[in-house]
Amino acid sequence: MRELKAELLSILTAMPGSKSPHAEAERILLRVLSVARPELDTFGKLYLLDPVPTSLERKQALDLAQARASGVPLQHLLGEQTFLDRDYAVNPSTLIPRPETEVLFISCAEWISKRKPGDRLRFGELGLGSGVLSCELLVRFSSASGVASEASPAAIELAQSNLSRWCGVDWSSRLTILPVSADQAFEVLLPHAPFDLIISNPPYVARGDEIEPEVARHEPESALFPWNDDPDFFYVDFVTKASRLMAPGGAAFFEIPHERADRIEAEFQKSGAKQVCLIPDLTGRPRVLRAEF
Ligand SMILES: C[S@@+](CC[C@H](N)C(=O)[O-])C[C@H]1O[C@@H](n2cnc3c(N)ncnc32)[C@H](O)[C@@H]1O
């Protein structure tokens, strides 16, 4: 297996912009070898056992590394991404969940944990995507129920399969998915208001922002850019409707671009929130905005 890892590494390190070839080689080996050996759930165990790959496993691993080296995200090749401690199905219909979005969820979970235990938590999400945020809310907080909007029918299908996997077959008794068109925003949540919690990682990339070629090629435009190319569209729209969306004592959590954090924070000062604050991501840059009502 060590020889195969070395072969994978030489393919992956030759890839332009290669960032974590070791971790990616190990993920490929774990996937390929664990098909036949499900007990090999961590790479540490794999190293200890040092299994001899079959010729089929070797071919599968090399094919995956070649496809990865051509620029396809490993998550699309493996069909999954870990978010917090669960593996979620992913595909090109929506954004691959990011570590920054884990910060968004954790900030929100900390706020929920300070509420009175068992208090009803009615939430709304804009931009369900693969379903990671709504799904984590349902799994971790039994008092949570809500609605989530999404503009891509293929992303809705993906989220439904993730919700069925992690939240049980009757997840739809706790979450209503609202299929919308890309030019709709918080007005679709208004009939379901008031909310104790709004959470969203909306499309927020500005045209002209530098984005990695791999992201531009493999992740959908509609998950990155707002439909009208106004990068602050969803934030401003929330601010204009916040007083009708939020229940007293509720809070809204948004993922935001750190480059425009100050401007977006200033916009939220007009929302009627009692307190607005910015929360840093793992690199120390402002990435989450919390507004308390
Ligand atoms: C940045 S992704 C976030 C996905 C997921 N919540 C996450 O955090 O990984 C934004 C999502 O919003 C969806 N979207 C785009 N325009 C929308 C709109 N007007 N209303 C609701 N969802 C929209 C996209 O299809 C995409 O799935």
> Hey, where are the domains in the chain?
2-71, 84-292
Phi, psi of 32 (to 5 degrees): -70, -45
Which residues does residue 150 pair with via DSSP β-bridges, in sequence order?
A: 179
Is pLDDT above 70 for 141?
A: yes
- Average pLDDT score, the chain: 94
| 70 Cβ neighbours under 8 A, 6+ residues apart | none
The CA 128 to ligand 1 mean position distance, Å, reads 6
Q: Whose CA is nearest to atom 11 of ligand 1?
A: 127
Ligand 1 pocket, residue 155 CB under 6 Å: yes
pLDDT at 157: 98
pLDDT, tens digit, 9 for 90 and up, residues 75-91: 999 999 999 999 999 99
Under CATH, what is the fold of the domain 84-292?
Rossmann fold (3.40.50)
The CA 220 to ligand 1 mean position distance, Å, reads 10
Contact between 47 and 4 (Cβ < 8 Å): no
Q: How far apart are CA 265 and CA 105, in angstroms?
A: 19
The CA 17 to ligand 1 mean position distance, Å, reads 27
pTM beyond 0.85: the answer is yes
How sure is the predictor about 2, in pLDDT bands with cuts at 50, 70 and 90?
A: confident
Contact between 30 and 45 (Cβ < 8 Å): no
- With helix as H, strand as E and coil as C, how does 97-149 read? CCHHHHHHHHHHHHHHHCCCCCCCEEEEEECCCCCHHHHHHHHHCCCEEEEEE
Q: Which of 86, 93, 94 to mutate to test the pocket of ligand 1 (most atoms within 8 A of CB)?
A: 94
Encoded tokens for 215: 């992201």
pLDDT at 16: 80
The DSSP 8-state label assigned to residue 5 in this structure reads H
pLDDT, tens digit, 9 for 90 and up, residues 50-79: 788 999 999 999 999 999 999 999 999 999
Encoded tokens for 249: 């004592």
